[in-house]
């Protein structure tokens, strides 16, 4: 099973102290894009701590997801600067354009949508991140343009397969 | 190798790059530069140098603080001016290479100005007024040195503070920090030397030093820029702290949302270790110090010191009561000094240049400089470092360039979620810890956000409270539920369902939340609400009494309307762009919005060509002509 394999590899490289829990969960998320249930159970066993403790830490911090991430994760900044220059409209535009809820995943697994509180690019607000790329000074219409371009790229790529 | 040998090697490397035969092209590739396309500019320079057969070095540097003009490029040419270019695109690169790298034309029409400031000094562009106001200590190398090369830092004076400290008795280092008057830059302004003294006096071993790089204020990015642009100054500060306190282990707690800062810190740690500034028996002094990175997993409350230590211990970051203070019992219950990124970055300078030099800057009770992240409705967004005591007006107008498009400044928000909003009439307030508290806000982390007439104060207060409410760890009932009650009331007001008594109720709740919360997250949570009511009460009253949002922001109280006399019959931009298909053309070719379908996304306003400017916003909704006013859709969902 894939999760079990990845987890074994991660755990081998990690300390097994109680203090390593967050670092381990971060590694798990980096590997799978989210925290699969199976992996959380495995981590609890590895650290010899109650499963509920792993779950409570996993759900306390905003960084952790317990649902899968899209192949192109979208994060819309909802920090102060971005809010003041229309971040809300940008977020709504993404939701409308992709028909996806906040924290959700599109049906083709391509995009997931989250909000973040400031990515430190306030000077170019409102900002949106797709994958690793930061898109500056977004507007609802620019969202449509950006997403249309990406969607057609995906279509092209799929055709090639 | 001795420090002198390391330094002389670094200096000669630096000289050949910055004063050599070959031009040196500095390109800012911090996060803000990258977002503006700096990596494409790097690529374009490589390409053009090859194509035109020109010889030059490319040095990737951090952020100069002029985020509005990114991507930034500085060209250093032997025996000629150092010129700084703003908003560089790959298209102009061939011209820069041909003009200034190969030829003698500095392409001044593309330039922001000529750069001055020699090695180890702050960068300075005399053409820009902001540099007259600024005094760059922490930012002195930012955008000038390569943060991924420790030799650049050493050549510009780096690690000399550590070397000096290692020759001083530990108590004297602390004495120097005390005498400098340095106060913590993490928000509360606690005197750093005193904190260190308490930790040093503690009898328990081992001791820890933590650098707080959580920077959770959603509108602040100073710490990120410093870590991305000059990480060694923070490491050197931690090392000196570790030596003075008798600690041998340090942690940097940094938010995972800052991948580039994490990467550059990792490189910096490795290089410092290789040269013997970090590890065992540092520079032969017998002092051992190790630093580990701990990645924050995204929770605002993690920035609170006691919560942060819980996070490093792998737990949920929930604050605990103080005392005992971390300096007595902190990480793993051991004496721990926790300082902000900027606080630590001042330390090498204070040791190197002396407490008197530092305390000569600033005001009576706030010494040194303040670093602000200027964002919001400003012409020149970015970072600024000014002496304490500079007024808000100087920061906003002389450095920030004022509000764009000739709009009026309405408010300035300082200190993030625990700070507040000040009106234009208080712009002559000097920025220092105490003056800001007097007018009801806080220095906080240093985020400063300017708002203009298009920003609604009720909405701003709602925004911060919503943030706090989501980020409350839930331990204290009043913080968890009290903020929720306040939020509900504000949402009611923003939706036109407020009652005038609500304002008093907000005051009452605010007092209770302040009293009933353990940490400063709760204690300061009401500040944005209190300051907006205090200084902008008329806006609250307009929402409540007239169902009107003066800034045309609150969706439930505003409507979009197309002015028939301005609408061009032949143009269909708005119709094509409207995704809910709420706009139709009437028999005369004039576009009309079906209010029951409108989701108030604002795309029609954005798309309407500026020569027509036919789309406007109205508030209250009752201003709509009767023909359109039929059942506006309840927005929000
Ligand atoms: C909710 C909350 C969030 C905080 N976030 C930060 C932060 O992101 N960075 C920081 O340096 N200090 C933060 N602080 C302040 C820290 O608790 C602590 O006072 C600071 O790190 C001490 O460093 P200093 O003495 O150098 O200011 C926060 C405090 C609170 C109550
Ligand atoms: S508020 Fe969006 S990047 Fe800072």
DSSP B77: -
Average confidence score pLDDT of chain B:
94
pLDDT tens figures, B489-534: 999 999 999 999 999 999 999 999 999 999 999 999 999 999 999 9
**B607 contact residues in A (CB cutoff 8 A):** 141
B251 touches chain A (CB under 8 A): no
CATH number for B3-133 (one of 3.40.309.10, 3.30.365.10, 3.40.50.720, 3.40.30.10): it is: 3.40.30.10
On whether any CB of chain B is under 8 Å from the CB of A151, the answer is no
The pLDDT, as a whole number, for residue B637 is 35
Superfamily of domain B160-358: NADH-ubiquinone oxidoreductase 51kDa subunit (3.40.50.11540)
Nearest protein Cα to ligand 1, atom 4: B303
DSSP class of B331: G
Residue of B nearest to A96 (CA): B579
Contacts of A93 (CB under 8 A, 6+ apart): A140, A141, A143, A144, B601, B603
Per residue in B32-68, pLDDT tens? Answer: 899 889 999 999 999 999 999 999 999 999 999 998 9
Which pLDDT belongs to residue B120?
A: 60
Mean pLDDT of chain A: 90
Residue B220 contacts A where some CB pair is shorter than 8 Å: yes
Query: In the structure encoding, which two tokens stand for residue A131, read together?
Result: 């994958």
Residue nearest to atom 1 of ligand 2 (CA): A79
pLDDT at B636 over 60: no
Q: What is the pLDDT of residues B531-543, one digit of tens each?
A: 999 999 999 999 9
| Listed residue (B75, B82, B68, B73) closest to B29, CA to CA | B73
Instruction: Give per-residue pLDDT as tens, B202-235.
Output: 999 999 999 999 998 888 889 999 999 999 999 9
Q: Which of residues 47-106 of B touch A (CB under 8 A)?
A: 67-68, 70
Q: Rounded distance, CA B399 to CA B231, Å?
A: 25
The per-residue pLDDT for range B537-565, each reduced to its tens digit, is: 999 999 999 999 999 999 999 999 999 99
Torsion angle defined by CA atoms of residues B474, B480, B481 and B483, in that order, rounded to the nearest 10 degrees: -170
- Per domain, the residue ranges of chain B are 3-133, 160-358, 369-452, 457-545, 558-628
CATH architecture, range B558-628: 2-Layer Sandwich (3.30)
Distance of CA B97 to the CA centre of its chain: 33
Q: Is B91 helix (H, G, I), strand (E, B) or coil?
A: helix
What confidence tens digit (pLDDT) does each residue in B585-635 have? Answer: 999 999 999 999 999 999 999 999 999 999 999 999 999 998 776 555 444
Query: CB distance B256–A62 less than 8 Å?
Result: no
Q: Which residues, 6+ apart, have CB-to-CB distance to B452 below 8 Å?
A: B377, B403, B407, B408, B409, B410
The ligand minimizing its distance to the Cα of B463 is 2
Is the distance from the beta carbon of residue A78 to the nearest atom of ligand 2 less than 6 Å?
no
- Is CATH 1.10.3720.10 the classification given to domain B457-545? no
Any CB–CB contact under 8 A between A45 and chain B? Answer: no
Q: pLDDT tens, B441-485? A: 988 888 899 999 999 999 999 999 999 999 999 999 999 999 999
What CATH fold (topology level) applies to the domain A3-60?
Arc Repressor Mutant, subunit A (1.10.10)
Domain made up of B369-452: CATH architecture:
Roll (3.10)
Report CA(B539)–ligand 1 centroid distance (Å): 32
Q: Which atom of ligand 1 is nearest to the CA of B308?
A: 17
pLDDT at residue B354 above 60? yes
Superfamily of chain region A72-159: Glutaredoxin (3.40.30.10)
Where in chain A is CATH 1.10.10?
Answer: 3-60
Per-residue pLDDT at B635: 44
ipTM of the complex as predicted: 0.89
């Amino acid at each position: 099973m894939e999760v079990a394999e990845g987890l074994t590899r991660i755990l081998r490289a990690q300390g097994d102290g109680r203090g390593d829990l967050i670092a381990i969960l971060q590694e798990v998320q980096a590997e799978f894009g989210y925290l699969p249930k199976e992996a959380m159970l495995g981590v609890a066993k590895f650290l010899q701590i109650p499963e509920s403790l792993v779950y409570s830490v996993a759900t306390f911090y905003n960084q952790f997801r317990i649902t899968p991430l899209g192949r192109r994760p979208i994060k819309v900044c909802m920090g102060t600067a971005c809010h003041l220059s229309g971040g809300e409209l940008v977020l709504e535009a993404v939701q409308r354009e992709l028909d996806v809820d906040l924290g959700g995943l599109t049906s083709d697994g391509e995009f997931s949508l989250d909000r973040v509180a400031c990515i430190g690019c306030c000077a170019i607000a409102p900002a949106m991140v797709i994958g690793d790329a930061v898109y500056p000074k977004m507007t609802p219409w620019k969202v449509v343009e950006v997403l249309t371009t990406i969607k057609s790229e995906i279509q092209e790529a799929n055709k090639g397969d | 190798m001795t420090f002198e040998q390391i330094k002389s090697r670094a200096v000669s490397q630096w000289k050949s790059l910055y004063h050599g035969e070959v031009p040196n092209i500095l390109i800012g590739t911090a996060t803000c530069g990258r977002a503006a396309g700096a990596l494409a500019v790097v690529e374009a320079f490589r390409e053009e140098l090859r194509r035109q057969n020109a010889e030059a070095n490319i040095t990737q540097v951090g952020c100069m603080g002029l985020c509005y003009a990114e991507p930034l490029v500085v060209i250093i040419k032997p025996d000629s001016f150092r010129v700084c270019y703003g908003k560089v695109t790959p298209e102009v690169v061939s011209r820069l290479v041909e003009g200034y790298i190969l030829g003698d034309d500095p392409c001044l029409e593309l330039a922001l100005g000529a750069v001055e400031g020699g090695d180890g000094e702050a960068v300075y562009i005399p053409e820009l007024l902001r540099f007259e106001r600024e005094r760059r200590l922490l930012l002195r190398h930012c955008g000038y040195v390569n943060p991924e090369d420790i030799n650049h830092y050493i050549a510009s004076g780096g690690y000399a503070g550590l070397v000096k400290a290692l020759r001083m008795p530990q108590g004297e280092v602390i004495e120097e920090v005390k005498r400098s008057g340095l106060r913590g830059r993490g928000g509360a302004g606690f005197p750093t030397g005193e904190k260190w003294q308490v930790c040093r006096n503690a009898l328990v071993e081992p001791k820890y030093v933590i650098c707080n790089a959580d920077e959770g204020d959603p509108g602040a990015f100073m710490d990120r820029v410093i870590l991305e642009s000059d990480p060694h100054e923070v490491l050197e500060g931690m090392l000196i702290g570790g030596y003075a306190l008798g600690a041998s282990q340090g942690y940097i707690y940094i938010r995972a949302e800052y991948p580039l800062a994490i990467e550059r810190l990792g490189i910096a740690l490795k290089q410092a270790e290789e040269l013997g500034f970090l590890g065992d028996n540092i520079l032969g002094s017998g002092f051992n110090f190790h630093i580990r990175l701990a990645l924050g997993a995204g929770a605002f409350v993690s920035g609170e010191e006691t919560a942060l230590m819980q996070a490093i211990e792998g737990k949920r970051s929930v604050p605990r009561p103080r005392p005992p203070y971390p300096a007595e019992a902190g990480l793993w219950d051991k004496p721990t000094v926790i300082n902000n990124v900027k606080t630590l970055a001042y330390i090498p300078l204070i040791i190197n240049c002396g407490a008197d030099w530092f305390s000569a800057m600033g005001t009576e009770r706030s010494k040194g400089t303040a670093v602000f992240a200027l964002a919001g409705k400003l012409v020149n967004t970015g970072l600024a470092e000014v002496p304490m005591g500079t007024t808000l007006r100087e920061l906003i107008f002389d450095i920030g360039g004022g509000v764009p498009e000739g709009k009026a400044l309405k408010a300035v928000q300082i200190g993030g979620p625990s700070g507040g909003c000040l009106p234009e009439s208080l712009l002559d307030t000097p920025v220092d810890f105490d003056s800001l508290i007097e007018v009801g806000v806080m220095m906080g982390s240093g985020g400063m956000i300017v708002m203009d007439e298009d920003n609604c104060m009720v909405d701003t207060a709602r925004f911060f409270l919503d943030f706090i409410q989501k980020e409350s760890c839930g331990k204290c009932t009043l913080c968890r539920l009290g903020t929720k009650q306040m939020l509900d009331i504000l949402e009611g007001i923003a939706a036109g369902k407020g009652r005038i008594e609500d304002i008093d109720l907000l005051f009452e709740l605010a007092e209770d939340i302040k009293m009933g919360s353990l940490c400063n997250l709760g204690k300061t949570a009401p500040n944005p609400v209190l300051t907006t009511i205090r200084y902008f009460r008329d806006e609250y009253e307009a929402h409540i009494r007239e169902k009107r949002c003066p800034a045309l922001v609150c969706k439930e109280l505003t409507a979009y309307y197309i002015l028939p006399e301005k609408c061009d019959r032949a143009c269909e931009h708005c119709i094509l762009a409207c995704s809910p298909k709420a706009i139709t053309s009437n028999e005369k070719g004039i576009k009309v919005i079906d209010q029951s379908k409108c989701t108030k996304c604002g795309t029609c306003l954005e798309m309407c060509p500026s020569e027509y400017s036919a789309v406007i916003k109205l508030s209250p909704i009752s201003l709509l002509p009767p023909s359109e006013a039929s059942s506006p859709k309840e927005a929000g969902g």
